[in-house]
Amino acid sequence: MLSGMTLHVLEIVQAGVLGSSLLAMVPPSCVGLAQHARLGNVDWRMAAGLAAGTAVGSFAGSKVAVDAPAGACITCAFCHRDKWMHLGCLSGLHQ
């Protein structure tokens, strides 16, 4: 939501908004990882897989977002993705 607001209010290009949004997630993630590692709660093999998947997903998602034609409703695509993710999580509660 803030990325879209930044895009329209500050008139920054989509690539700049996307890059700053992705970069803003790195420091909190590193702090959380360090804390959990200190507590011995990190499965490093799992963390490597998650990091690789996140990198590939971030790259692919940013390419789609930046290369989308002007006027395309990328927010709609992300909304549908989130809807399916939430439905998947909620369906797991009934098992």
For residue 54, being part of any structural domain is answered with: yes
Residue 74: CB atoms within 10 Å: 16
Look at residue 61 in the predicted model and tell me its pLDDT. Answer: 78
CA 35 to chain centre: 21
Task: Decide if 78 is inside a domain.
Answer: no
* pLDDT tens column, 37-89: 999 999 999 999 988 998 898 888 778 777 777 656 566 667 777 777 777 77
Instruction: Report which residue type is found at 68.
Output: A
Q: Domain range spanning residue 41?
A: 2-70
What's phi and psi for 68, nearest 5 deg? -65, 140
> Within a domain: residue 19?
yes
Q: Is residue 40 part of a domain?
A: yes
Q: How many domains does the chain have?
A: 1
Q: What is the mean pLDDT of residues 29-36?
A: 93
Considering the domain boundaries, does residue 43 fall inside one?
yes
The pLDDT value given to residue 32? 93
